[in-house]
Amino acid sequence: MPISCLTDRFAKCKAEGKAAFVAYLTAGFDTRELTVDALLGLEEGGADVIEVGVPFSDPMADGPVIERAGNVALANGVKLADCFEFVKQARQKGLTIPVLLMTYLNPILSFGLEKCCEKARDSGVDGFIPVDLPHGEGQDDAFLSACKKFDISSVPLLSPTSGEDRIARVAATATSFIYCVSLTGVTGMKTNSDQLRGGEGGKEKALVDPFTAATAELGKTISFIKKHSDMPVAVGFGISKPENVKRVVDLGADGFVVGTAVVACVENTAGPPAAKVAALEALAKSLKAAASLPIATEEPAAKRLKANGTTEGSNGGAAIVNGGGKALGANVWCFGDFGGRYIPETLMHAHDELTKMYETAKADPSFATELDLLRRNYVGGPTPLYHAKRLTEHAGGAQIWFKREELAHTGAHKINNALGQALLAKKLGKQRIIAETGAGQHGVATATACALLGLECIVYMGAQDCERQKLNVFRMSMLGAKCIPVTSGSQTLKDAINEALRDWVTNIRTTHYIIGSAIGPHPFPDIVRDFQSIIGKEARAQMLNQGEFAPSAPGSGGHTIGPGKLPDVVVACVGGGSNAIGMFAGFLEDKDVELIGVEAGGAAGPPAEGSNEKAKHSATLSAGTPGVLHGNRTYLLQSSEGQIEETHSISAGLDYPGVGPQHAALKDAGRAKYVWATDSDALAALQMCSRLEGLIPALEPSHAVSYALKRAKEMRPDQIILVNLCGRGDKDMVQVAKHLGVDVSGSTGRDMKA
């Protein structure tokens, strides 16, 4: 069905004096069999347009009700191809109203952009709402072109945080209508519990209607949109009752979107499918009854589109320019084909703001001085370079050297990034900090930085990781942070990131998200790499005995630290990849230095190619394929349908199905090589390093030590392998003991024989 079906429907509603009712339904919830009849029931109840939600394993803008529905649909085996089939069957049974697919980008990329749009046209789907494909992202142009080729609409999203300049540019891309998010936050119904009480003199204020309070800026946003476009505006998020409908319509909306209430109706209605369909029909009728448009007293302020597709007052989609004069757009957001900014519209302004602030901070000598002083006087840097002579002797071959980043305050490299970003947050005026953590090291580092700088700290941690890293959970608590266990999904690092992103979407104005690894949307991979690059810079100078590490430098006593030459091989473990990219950064231009990233191979490494075995590893670069997750395009462990697979590693810090985009680019360019080590490899290396060097590495860098021991045997004694020992093993001792069959819960020394 052509785009005109959507524009005609909105025009019909307007002619009837009604706002268009856009209903959202998760495909395959609560059963596959219900979906087609539910679509027909919604039309019968008065829906004018239906959004069919495509389930995705890792949604960042879904509230709990829609997330639960998506998980049920995934368990029911629902794929993007099934969503097309549901709509096709509904058309055959008489569905006449327009249908959109609301989806995250990765399933579309896995299906193929053009193939997806062609399938939509042939199935009776009228368009898409891509949640994490904002205007200005590189894939945006390709997707819009594919939609245009097959006469399919791509509905843009705008939010109260968009700003008039961005509203003008995004509105210019609309072909049917514009989806305006009513509030900052995830999908869901607003209740009284969402409102804070308080008042002067201890008296409570009267409780304001939560939806009214949450949409205080909505009228202004709608006015800005209508100033720059004549396209209809449909408002969504938080609408669940007739009075909510009346409010958004009175504020100028041409349509309203209801999702959580529709999905909750399916979830909460007992009985056979027919009862659920009847309940949906009744809900639709009650909502549509409140959709009367106010009587217009004057012409709207919308300006006519120019022939070239832009609007008066619009810059035609030109990139925003920051204070430093660099264009902010996909051309500077990426590492070749990787990276980018694949995020909900609500987060776009915050990322532009962060980028500008970071560019300003980088150009400010006082910021660099402050960081350097913290590195020296608080973190304990420069961390030493160390020749592991007994390990070298044991391996037989190349010399093994360590960059001892495990000696940094808090026991890992994570503190470098946490302090840097916390300082940026203060410059941004954000007093509330959120973070994710896997092994707990980034959580502890962020809690430490927040304690030092007087910031509120909330850390999201997978429930499984909380269990295997109880000590770090307690450390965070001691530092004043609140650690929130995440019970969704695999209950590991990726799920903690999902929950942190939802928090950020909801609290974007007061909160900064300190991402712990070199992942996420631009500018986070750049920021994390730059703050961690101190590792590689120090290591290179130490190897060459240069700068402050030269024999002639003050305080050196005429002694040298390093061997006086560059290493032949630099090795670091890779999960998200922050320690590795920080280490590699110092040696990227030294083309004769080989860069090796060691991933978590899990129990037995990735399954053989063509195997039907489920992944039980975290070797993303070794066995993954390109896709989009957590705001960036990179290598992922994913199904053929673009759903993110669960991973496994003995090390919580490496238990992640993606990797930083710069690592993906280095892999494809051949500048770095990525291998894997198994759980047992890491355990053996940890024990060997402990007994021969008196150093207990964390499980994460133990993967890198394992590779170094094997590789050294293949090299000459005059060659050097430099390993980033990025964390110490205190946090892992209970986990290691468990794997070695030792009970340390209440044992005496004589019982602890590994």
Q: What are the residue boundaries of the structural domains of the chain, listed by start? A: 4-191+206-288
SS (H, E, C) 236-250: ECCCCCHHHHHHHHH
Tell me how far apart the alpha carbons of residues 156 and 617 are, in angstroms, rounded to a whole number: 37
Q: Which residues of 498-536 are buried (b: 16+ CB within 10 A; e: fewer)?
A: bbbbbbbbbbbeebbbbbbbbbbbbbbbbbbbbbbbbbb
- Report the pLDDT value the prediction gives residue 332, as an integer from 0 to 100: 76
The more confidently predicted of residues 60 and 120 is 120
What are the residue ranges of helices labelled H in 363-403? 365-374, 389-395
Tens of pLDDT, residue by residue over 136-160, are 876 888 999 999 999 999 999 999 9
**Res 669 pLDDT > 80:** yes
Tens of pLDDT, residue by residue over 443-464, are 999 999 999 999 999 999 999 9
**Res 219 pLDDT > 90:** yes
- Report the pLDDT value the prediction gives residue 752, as an integer from 0 to 100: 47
**Res 213 pLDDT > 80:** yes
Active-site residue 267, yes or no? no
Please state which of the ranges 157-166, 240-249, 306-315 shows the lowest mean pLDDT. Answer: 306-315
Length of the chain: 754
**Portion of the chain with pLDDT greater than 70, in percent:** 90
Give the confidence band of 197 by pLDDT, cuts at 50, 70, 90.
Answer: very low
- Report the pLDDT value the prediction gives residue 330, as an integer from 0 to 100: 53
**Res 403 pLDDT > 80:** yes
Cβ atoms of residues 468 and 474 within 8 Å: no
User: 455: how many CB neighbours lie within 10 A of its CB?
Assistant: 21
* Secondary structure letter of residue 731 according to DSSP: G
- Report the pLDDT value the prediction gives residue 210, as an integer from 0 to 100: 79
Tell me how far apart the alpha carbons of residues 614 and 620 are, in angstroms, rounded to a whole number: 14
Average pLDDT, the chain: 90
> Tokens in use for 653?
């810090």
CA-nearest of 619, 628, 595 to 679 is 619
| Phi then psi dihedrals of residue 678, to 5 deg | -80, 170
- Report the pLDDT value the prediction gives residue 6, as an integer from 0 to 100: 98
Tens of pLDDT, residue by residue over 274-325, are 999 999 999 999 999 999 998 754 444 344 333 333 333 333 333 322 222 2
- Report the pLDDT value the prediction gives residue 437, as an integer from 0 to 100: 96
CATH architecture for the domain at 4-191+206-288: Alpha-Beta Barrel (3.20)
Please state which of the ranges 23-32, 165-174, 297-306, 572-581 shows the lowest mean pLDDT. Answer: 297-306
DSSP 472-498: HHHHHHHTT-EEEEE-STTSSHHHHHH
Please state which of the ranges 230-234, 540-544, 614-618, 680-684 shows the lowest mean pLDDT. Answer: 614-618
Give the confidence band of 489 by pLDDT, cuts at 50, 70, 90.
Answer: confident
Mean pLDDT calculated for residue range 479-496: 93
> Tokens in use for 380?
């304990």
**Res 203 pLDDT > 60:** no
- Report the pLDDT value the prediction gives residue 479, as an integer from 0 to 100: 98
Active-site residue 62, yes or no? yes
Cβ atoms of residues 246 and 321 within 8 Å: no
- Report the pLDDT value the prediction gives residue 148, as an integer from 0 to 100: 96
Tens of pLDDT, residue by residue over 12-27, are 999 999 999 999 999 9
- Report the pLDDT value the prediction gives residue 198, as an integer from 0 to 100: 35
CA of 284: how far to CAs of 114, 212, 262, in Å? 34, 22, 8
- Report the pLDDT value the prediction gives residue 306, as an integer from 0 to 100: 35
- Report the pLDDT value the prediction gives residue 538, as an integer from 0 to 100: 98
**Res 195 pLDDT > 70:** no
Tens of pLDDT, residue by residue over 322-361, are 222 233 355 678 999 999 999 999 899 899 999 999 999 9
Catalytic-role residue among 43, 62, 345, 538: 62
CA-nearest of 238, 427, 422, 428 to 350 is 428
> Tokens in use for 304?
């006519």
Give the confidence band of 187 by pLDDT, cuts at 50, 70, 90.
Answer: low
Catalytic-role residue among 43, 51, 281, 352: 51
- Report the pLDDT value the prediction gives residue 475, as an integer from 0 to 100: 96
Mean pLDDT calculated for residue range 363-378: 97
**Res 223 pLDDT > 90:** yes
- Report the pLDDT value the prediction gives residue 746, as an integer from 0 to 100: 66
CA-nearest of 445, 444, 452, 408 to 426 is 452
**Res 440 pLDDT > 70:** yes
Mean pLDDT calculated for residue range 662-690: 98
